[in-house]
Amino acid sequence: MEIISFRLTNLGRFEQLKAHLASRGKGSVTVFIGNNGAGKTTVLTSLATILSWFVARLRSEKGSGSHIPEEVILNGQASAMIDIEVFDEQGQSGNPDADESEHLYCWTLAKTAKGKKASLTSSLQEATHLAEYYRNGLTARKDQSLPLIAFYPVERVVLDIPLKIKSKHSFLQLDGYDNSLNQGVDFRRFFEWFREREDFENESGLPQDILDNLLSSVSIESDIWHKLQYFMASSRDRQLTAVRTAIANFMPGFSNLRVRRKPRLHMSIDKDGQTLNVSQLSQGEKSLMALVGDIARRLAMMNPGLENPLHGDGIVLVDEVDMHLHPSWQRSVIRRLTDTFPNCQFILTTHSPLVISDGKDVMVYSLENGELVTVSSQYGQDANTVLLDVMDTHIRNETVAKKLGDLLDLIQNGKLEEAKNKLNALKDELPSNNLELVKAQILLRKQEIKNAQNQ
């Protein structure tokens, strides 16, 4: 399932905003950039709102999704509307003659302010229709996959991991959608789910430490070793394996996420050979682990028939994907997402030039004064160029930039004594390896030599 395009009418700050997203062989990542208040979050929440109707109708025939809140109707207007155009092969999979257009599903959600006359109306038949195909599939086949649909808002903070878990939950395939569009990472559920799968894994196989012991006591070439290896692989839970693999792919150096019961119930992970309680990780590590773990868990629940559930299909929305991330992680986050979850469509927002300069097939849109501006590929650009050209931001502190400019003017105008004083003053202020300062120093020296030769 992919979003081909969407349109917002009288919604938030947008009178009319229409965008085509990266899909259908043109890459799978779209990034929205723009200043604070440009409307990035509005775009993602609108998509989550309209997609919630498909999820609701998948759960039940007459289900209701989220409504457009009244306060987001553009001030002064009576109604707001969201349209979406979705491509999904599922619906016509039984019909090999179906052409492309038969895989397209469009639906509309509108909201009219209280006491006003409705000028825009909802039309949700095609969402219902598409959901029905999936429901028929669920009824007919045990291995029917469902498309992941998830929104990770800025408030996706990782709360402390709950120590007490009240009751045992049983997790059904459709539960993969629980809270997926309104709160992002649901760490309590993640923990409950993880513990349940792990109990299941331990019941159906030998405990890991016993297996490790056995393995180390027999020769690698022997039949027994191979049999033990096979036994170990087959007793691993497929869903847990998916989550562990996703985290290991995403965060090199991290492995073996597991639930520990002593001294108290907690989750632990190995980081570079050291075992840590998950609550000891940094905020950036936690939020990345929770994001990746949550996507992987939902995919694992929704794709019971797939050998590798990480290859499941879906749409993932992440607001401010660079949040809490170290620059080197910002740079690689898109690549890691698409490598780990190759069949998901990602729609992201960011403030970071590093996020958009590392993706080859990334579609970037800038929101400027309520309008959409297509940004040419920033692949391979350095962060300063992206800041200057695309994000309209000074690459250095303005006061320092002015002082450096004045210094160069003095040198160029031959006022070398004054330049020297200014240079020395700046040397006290800036780090000694400041590139512009070193350049100015060389330039000044050259001018001095030139003057000496001319005398």
Q: Which residues bind Mg ion (CB under 5 A)?
A: 40-41
Structure tokens at 315: 């749409």
Tell me: does residue 39 bind ligand ADP (CB under 6 A).
yes
- Name the residue nearer to ligand ADP (CB basis): 37 or 162: 37
Q: Where are the alpha helices (DSSP H) in 21-113?
A: 40-59
> Among Mg ion, ligand ADP, none, what binds residue 97 when CB lies within 5 to 8 Å by partner kind?
none
Q: Which of 6, 2, 95, 13 is nearest to 371 (CA)?
A: 13
Label residue 335 exposed, middle or buried (CB < 10 Å: 0-12, 13-18, 19+): middle
- Tell the smallest beta-carbon distance from residue 323 to ligand ADP (Å): 12
Among 41, 245, 255, 377, binds ligand ADP (CB under 6 A): 41
Does residue 13 bind ligand ADP (CB under 6 A)? Answer: yes
Options 22, 31, 38, 404; binder of ligand ADP; rule CB under 6 A? 38
Binding flag, residue 351, ligand ADP (CB under 6 A): no
C-alpha to C-alpha distance for 301 and 201, rounded to whole angstroms: 15
Span 133-152, contacts to ligand ADP by CB under 6 A? none
Among residues 72, 146, 242, 440, which is the contact residue for ligand ADP, using CB under 6 A? 72
Torsions phi, psi of 438, nearest 5? Answer: -60, -40
CB of 349 to ligand ADP, least distance (A): 7
Near ligand ADP by CB under 6 A: residue from 1, 23, 30, 34 = 34
Residues with Cβ within 8 Å of residue 234, at least 6 apart in sequence: 205
Residue 292 interacts with, from Mg ion, ligand ADP, none (CB under 5-8 Å by kind)? none
Distance CA 347, CA 355 (A): 13
Q: How far is the CB of 40 from Mg ion (least distance, A)?
A: 5
Does position 74 bind ligand ADP by CB under 6 A?
A: yes
Query: Do the strands 266-271 and 274-277 form a parallel or antiparallel pair, or are they unpaired?
Result: antiparallel
Per-residue tokens: 399? 């006061």
Whichever of 154 and 425 has its CB closer to ligand ADP, that residue is: 154
Phi-psi region of 115 (alpha: psi -120 to 50; beta: other; left: phi over 0): left
Q: Please, which residue, 33 or 50, has the CB nearer to Mg ion?
A: 33
Residue 258 touches which of Mg ion, ligand ADP, none (Cβ within 5-8 Å per kind): none
Separation CA 339–CA 23 (nearest Å): 16
Report angle CA 412, 414, 416 to the nearest 5 degrees: 110
**Residue 75 contacts ligand ADP per CB under 6 A:** yes
Based on the shown chain and the rule CB under 6 A, indicate whether residue 40 belongs to the binding site for ligand ADP. Answer: yes
CB–CB of 21/363 below 8 Å?
yes
User: Are the C-beta atoms of 258 and 293 separated by less than 8 Å?
Assistant: no
Instruction: List all residues 6 or more positions away from 325 whose beta carbon is below 8 Å from its beta carbon.
Output: 284, 288, 333, 352
Q: Is 99 exposed, middle or buried (0-12, 13-18, 19+ CB in 10 A)?
A: exposed
Residues 6+ apart with CB under 8 A from 450: none
The single residue among 1, 2, 6, 12 that binds ligand ADP, judged by CB under 6 A, is: 12
Cis amide bond preceding 263, omega within 30: yes
Which of the ranges 31-39, 160-168, 340-348, 435-443 carries the binding residues for ligand ADP, by CB under 6 A? Answer: 31-39
Nearest-CB residue for Mg ion: 41
- Cα–Cα distance between 108 and 119 in angstroms, integer? 13
In whole angstroms, the minimum distance from the beta carbon of 247 to ligand ADP comes to 28
Closest approach of ligand ADP to the CB of residue 13, in Å: 4
Choices 35-43, 93-101, 234-242, 439-447 (CB under 6 A): range interacting with ligand ADP = 35-43
13 binds, among ligand ADP, Mg ion, none (CB under 5 to 8 A by kind): ligand ADP
Considering the complex, state which of residue 303 and residue 350 has its C-beta at the smaller distance from ligand ADP: 350
Inter-residue long-range contacts of 336-340, CB under 8 Å, 24+ positions, other chains counted: 336/249, 336/250, 337/29, 338/28, 338/29, 339/249, 340/246, 340/249, 340/250, 340/292, 340/296, 340/310
Q: Which of the residues 235 through 264 are near ligand ADP (CB under 6 A)?
A: none
- Residue 36 touching ligand ADP (CB under 6 A): yes
Residue 79 contacts ligand ADP per CB under 6 A? no
Q: Provide the binding-site residues for ligand ADP, judged by CB under 6 A.
A: 12-13, 34, 36-42, 71-75
